[in-house]
């Protein structure tokens, strides 16, 4: 099922908070070239993702995938923990 195109967005980011039960806050940072000044501007967005097994912790690099709304703020699920924090 992972091989098929589902049309869902997939992002990679760092876990900022894991204090909630079955929820992690993931920070996604992107660099974009400013059209006028030709400098790279860093922007970041935080998403709440559903973590069924409470597997991810602060500092972990994780992959999240778009899904149906789980709650008011959560419409992302944790697919895998790519790298553990040291």
Instruction: State the Cα–Cα distance between residues 50 and 65, nearest whole angstrom.
Output: 10
pLDDT at 47: 98
Looking at the structure, give the CATH architecture of the domain made up of residues 10-83.
Answer: Beta Barrel (2.40)
pLDDT at 42: 97
Question: Residue 1 pLDDT > 70, yes or no?
Answer: no
Domain ranges of the chain: 10-83
Q: What is the pLDDT of residues 27-72, one digit of tens each?
A: 999 999 999 999 999 999 999 999 999 999 999 999 999 999 999 9
Model pLDDT for residues 14-30, shown as the tens digit of each residue = 999 999 999 999 999 99
Task: Report residue 3's pLDDT band, with 50, 70 and 90 as the boundaries.
Answer: low
Is 90 exceeded by the pLDDT of residue 2?
no
């Amino acid at each position: 099922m992972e091989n098929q195109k589902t049309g869902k967005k997939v992002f990679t980011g760092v876990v900022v908070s894991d204090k909630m039960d079955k929820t992690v806050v993931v920070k996604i940072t992107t660099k974009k070239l400013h059209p006028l000044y030709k400098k790279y501007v860093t922007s970041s967005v935080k998403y709440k993702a559903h973590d069924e097994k409470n597997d991810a912790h602060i500092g972990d690099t994780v992959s999240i995938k778009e899904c149906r709304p789980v709650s008011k703020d959560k419409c992302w699920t944790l697919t895998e923990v790519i790298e553990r924090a040291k």
